Structure 1
Amino acid sequence: MAERVREVFARAGAQGALHAVPIGDLPWPGQEPEAAPGRPLGPEVAVAADEPVAISSVFKILLVLEFFRQADAGQLDPRERVRVTDAHRLGGWGTAGCADDVEVSLRDLAYFALTVSDNTAADVLLDRVGLDTVRLLTEELGLTRTRIVGGPREALASMLADVGARDEEEFAALYRALPGERKRSLSVLDPRRANASTPRDVTRLLDLVWRDAAGSPRACARVRELMGRQVFRHRLTSGFGDDVRIAAKTGTLPGLHIEVGVVRYPDGGRYAVAVFARSRAVVADLATVDAAIGRTARLAVDHLRTAEGAPAHRL
């Protein structure tokens, strides 16, 4: 199976890392596999699953989870309204691309951060939630290979600094002229310098959220709901039939294509999948690589379902 996954990525001009596991087959926080005899580890598909990877916007799952945990604990009011101004804007979707000031609630910032990967919404929300609390959350959940260094604003600042640009417009002009190796050396692509994790750590996070073990049931349910409303359907979703439900989060940087999520079949089978692809072409939009994410996810889930004795499922 690992060879088949690598072959799909190679044909798309990329290298991939992947981890897939049935929901419920991982130990609860604080439990090692040998300390949980009643919960043996089940089948998995692992391709470079323990290699560190830059996680880009996958970070927003942790941010929004911590936001809803604090809201559910009464530490902040999700209805609190904030004004998003030109000084906050980082470019991209949602409030990040608005031309005028926007007034919005904190919970709507969470909505934008997960559904359209709004960088400005995530940045403003992080100021309210606190970077240190997100770091503490990774420790609490046993995400031992996950490291959080900052939010979208820090990521943008590092990109500008790496090429010596003063703003996004100048960055775009300078970036186009860079050789491929120079583009691949950007800090945001380096797991030693950027927000980073491993595919296995990410599926652990998804598993905990889907089992209400990452916070209160209400907080976990809100994260699941918003991931289920993500508007981007060109990666994981492309590999599955219309009756398969997918709740996911993308991550995209030049040369880095990510999608992580939970795949739910009509028979109730649920599978956490994390796919990371680095393309040889250092650009942000490659349909062949995006399709390979869906294809490899489908291969992995089909393998898990066969191991479980689940019935075959057609596209």
Structure 2
Amino acid sequence: MFEAVGARVRLHALDLDSGREIAVGADEPVVLASVFKVLLVLEFARQADAGQLDPRHRVTVGRADRLGGWGTAGCLDDVEMSLRDLAFFTMSVSDNSAADALLRHVGLDTVRMLAAELGLDRTRVVGGPRELLASMLQDVGARDEAEFARLYPTLGPEKLRTLRVLDADRTTRGTARDMTRLLRLIWQDRAGSPAACAWVRELMERQVFRHRIVSGFPDGVRIAAKTGTLPGLHMEVGVVTHPDGGRYALAVFAATDAAATDSAARDTAAMDRAATASAASARADRPAVDATIGRAARAAVDALRGAR
């Protein structure tokens, strides 16, 4: 499916009740991008439930906090909201400024410790949205996101290899299997208190983006998910719940260009082939890749259900 749209995939699908699985490169390192926000909001929910943070504490997101994108990240004026509303924006519209503000209160080290506590052995968190955006601009020599968008399609193979944010060895990373483990723990109330886990599940159900996993399933199937996107990278993790109670965790990571410079494709020839195609793939039919994530998710879940 992914070869047909010029992409490669790392996928793990897991039946949460039986443990049956389908894996395609599920243990290879992948860039997490905004998928990391599941861990961030989970740690916030745990701290709020334990009384370590007041979820109603109000925070102002101002000009200096804007990172671009959806929600407060794209607002022109200062926005004031509670920590729990920052968490809502972080998950529902993948608001980078909200996530950055939330991370300052939760603490980067505690998010790292949470990953270790939950046994996500292949997951490493190097920073929040601000650090990732800064590395992108710095590596390209761009002053802002608009300049980055203009420069990216013109980059050659050598330059593409320097982008830390697209290299799983040098940015926040995990594996597809680590992500389905995280989801399984949340859905089984083992990633924190039942109240904390339930709140994370609720927020994931309220994500507004429906062009990836959701697109592959009919009405009546409940889906709670979190997307992540970077140039050439399309990803989503989530849990699909059928009306009969069957629950399936999914982690799908698709790459169309310079992301092939990760440790799973480290030989120079493969890197050159992937990177040389960067300009074309940056303008590629991205909706086709997104739709393929939905089709692949449906195929994996159907196969798991057929084995029941």
Aligned to 2:175: 198
Q: Report what 2:299 is aligned to.
A: 299
Local SS of the residue matching 1:100:
coil
Q: 1:278 aligns with which of 255, 263, 278?
A: 255
- The question of 1:211 aligning with 2:182 is answered no
Q: Unpaired segments of 5 or more residues in structure 1?
A: 1-7, 26-41, 309-315
- Asked whether the 8 Å contact 1:253–1:283 carries over to 2, the reply is no
SS in 1 for 2:202: helix
Deviation at 1:180, TM superposition (A): 5.7
Instruction: String of CA shifts for 1:97-147, please: whole Å, max 9, x gaps.
Output: 000000000000000000000000000000000000000000110000100
Q: Specify which of 111, 116, 121 is matched with residue 139 of structure 1.
A: 116
Paired with 2:9 and 2:217, the residues of 1 have a C-alpha distance of: 19
Q: Relative to structure 1, is the Cα distance of residues 285 and 110 closer, same or farther in structure 2, using a 3 angstrom cutoff?
A: farther
Q: Percent identity?
A: 68
TM normalised by structure 2 equals: 0.90
CA 249–283 in structure 1, closer or farther in 2 if over 3 Å, else same: farther
Which deviations, in whole Å up to 9, do the C-alpha atoms of 1:58-91 show, x marking residues without a partner?
Answer: 0000000000100000001000001100000000
- Name the residue aligned to 1:102: 79
Higher mean C-alpha displacement, 163-172 vs 134-143: 163-172
Rounded Cα–Cα distance in structure 1 between residues aligned with 2:282 and 2:198: 36
Q: Secondary structure at the match of 2:139?
A: helix
Segment drifting more, 131-140 vs 174-183: 174-183
The answer to whether the aligner puts 1:220 opposite 2:197 as a matched pair is yes
Residue 87 of structure 1 aligns to a residue in which SS?
helix
The 5 A counterparts of 1:20-59 are: 20-25=13-18, 42-59=19-36
The number of residues matched between the two structures is 285
The Cα of 1:189 is off from its aligned counterpart by 1.1
Q: Say if 1:250 and 1:258, in contact at 8 Å, map to a contact too.
A: yes
Query: 1:246/1:219 Cα in 2 relative to 1: closer, same or farther (>3 Å)?
Result: same
Per-residue CA deviations over 1:223-256 (Å, capped at 9, x if unaligned) read 0000000000000011111111100000000100
Look up the match of 2:44: 67
Q: Give the letter for the 1:14 counterpart.
A: A
* 1:24 Cα deviation after fit: 3.5
Q: Comparing 272-281 with 61-70, which one deviates more in the overlay?
A: 272-281
Bigger fraction of residues in helix? 2
CA shift, 1:177, in A, is 2.4
TM-score, structure 1 normalization = 0.88
CA distance in 2, matches of 1:86, 1:283: 31
Contact 2:153 2:282 in 1 (8 A): no
Structure 1 segment 104-123 matched on structure 2, within 5 A? 104-123=81-100
Q: For the residues of structure 2 that align with 1:191 and 1:282, how far apart are their CA atoms?
A: 19
Alignment RMSD (CA, Å): 1.3
Q: Structure 2 unaligned runs (5+)?
A: 258-280
Match of 1:187 among 138, 161, 164: 164
Q: 1: CA distance between counterparts of 2:29 and 2:20?
A: 22
| 1:15 corresponding residue in structure 2 | 8
Q: Deviations over 1:203-224 (max 9, x none)?
A: 0000000000000111101100
